[in-house]
A = this chain, B = another copy of it.
Amino acid sequence: MNESDDGRGKRQATIVEVAERAGVAIGTVSRYLNGHPIRTGNRDQIEEAIRELDYRRNALAAAMKSELTNTVGFLVPRLTEFHAPVLEQLSQLLRKQGRALLTYCHNDDTAAVVDLLSFFDSHRVDCLIMDGRADAVDSIRDFARHGTPVIFYDNDVPGPNVDRVLVENRAASYRAVSHLLDIGHTRIAVLTGHTGNWTGRERYEGYRQAMTSRGVEVDPDYVLDTHWNEDEAFSGMLRLMTLPNPPTALFCCNYNMTVGAMRMIKEHGLKIPGDISLVSFDDVPLFRLHEAGITAVAQPVAKIAETIANIVSLRLSHRGEAHTAHTTTLDCDIVLRGSTRRLITPQDVARHGRR
């Protein structure tokens, strides 16, 4: 329908043509486009020229000179119910700063991470946000060496001199497991995700400290170092529940594993919390709607996104200046629901009779 809807596009007007048509210098147009003060007469001329020529700014050319692309690289491990809201809010906060996110979901694939790092690098993103990864420290250091700020979130890895936005994984786990201990459980199993990375290690450590601080010994059979994903959690859970002495409570270190564990529990006709109590790291809307309600550690998604956005803004407004990296550690909430129930001890059973 449209005059030039021929699929070819049309020759693009440049700032030069705008300047000619408006009868001013190129620099003046540039200044106008960047919001600098302009003589009123000139402004009108320029605006008219822009309209008539259907001029659109070429951010690439601009970025080339100014060394700023207004683009931020974002590397996310998985788009789970924890990460998706972070991305959602981050995209909006950064937009208010005039920036947008170049997003990639790497699924713990080292090669993909390295590949993307160099893509982001050659595309000159102004900043990089990612989970700290031991398998890519060298690439990360290479990347950061050129002066682009990097922000780690969700997972940490020591070494690189970058800002970090993390949560108090250990303390939150400690409290979660303490809750299970409070209500009488001692045979508590944990799906750690993966103690090969910091987050998994910290969450496990919280578990361990809670246990030992009550004098409960950690049974190695109860510690499953799976891989943050549903299927491994499912099979791990299978091993767990077929032990001669299965656990009475379970602590799952992320959302995906909670789903895997719950699937095993349901498919084998077990009940939460009747047969086993459950605490999940990561809270999702549907946990409220579970039959019993799932007790969960809620990460402060909004605060995380906000903090990251602030750091981006800060680093880029002082770019070039030397600075020391800063780590922000945010608190988590524990939401108690019905999936954790006081343990019925043999004594209880004896006292009240079977079933």
Contact = CB atoms under 8 A, between A and B. Distances in A.
Interface of A: 1-2, 4-10, 12, 56-61, 63-64, 69, 71, 74, 78-81, 84-85, 87-88, 91-92, 95, 100-105, 107, 112, 115-116, 118-119, 121-124, 141, 144-148, 159, 161, 230, 259, 262-263, 266, 284-286, 288-291, 320-323
Of listed A4, A64, A103, residue having the most chain B CB within 10 A: A103
Q: How many copies does the complex hold?
A: 2
A60 B123 contact: yes
Contacts of A148: 9
Nearest to A230: B285
23 contacts: A1-B159, A6-B322, A7-B161, A8-B147, A8-B320, A56-B118, A56-B121, A59-B119, A59-B124, A61-B64, A71-B123, A74-B103, A79-B84, A87-B103, A91-B103, A100-B119, A101-B102, A101-B104, A263-B285, A263-B288, A266-B289, A289-B290, A290-B291
Contacts of A71: 102, 123
A6 to B, nearest CB: 6
Contacts of A105: 87-88, 91-92
Contacts of A123: 59-60, 69, 71, 100
A137 to B, nearest CB: 11
Contact of A116 (B100, B104, B112, B116): B100
A9 B56 contact: no
Given A7-B323, A290-B291, 18 more contacts: A2-B141, A4-B145, A5-B145, A7-B147, A7-B321, A10-B145, A56-B121, A56-B146, A59-B123, A59-B124, A60-B64, A78-B88, A88-B105, A91-B103, A100-B103, A100-B116, A259-B289, A266-B288
* 3 A-B pairs closest in CB distance: A9-B147, A291-B291, A79-B84
Q: Is the interface of A mostly helix, strand, loop or mixed?
A: mixed
A194 B310 CA distance: 35
Given A259-B285, A284-B286, A88 B79 contact: yes
Nearest to A99: B119
A95 B107 contact: no
Contacts of A81: 81
A69 B79 contact: no
Contacts of A61: 64
Contact of A64 (B64, B144, B161, B321): B64
Nearest to A146: B9
A58 B67 CA distance: 11
Nearest to A266: B289
Nearest to A107: B92
Nearest to A94: B104
Nearest to A90: B105
A271 to B, nearest CB: 10
A95, A112, A323: most-surrounded residue (chain B CB, <10 A)? A95
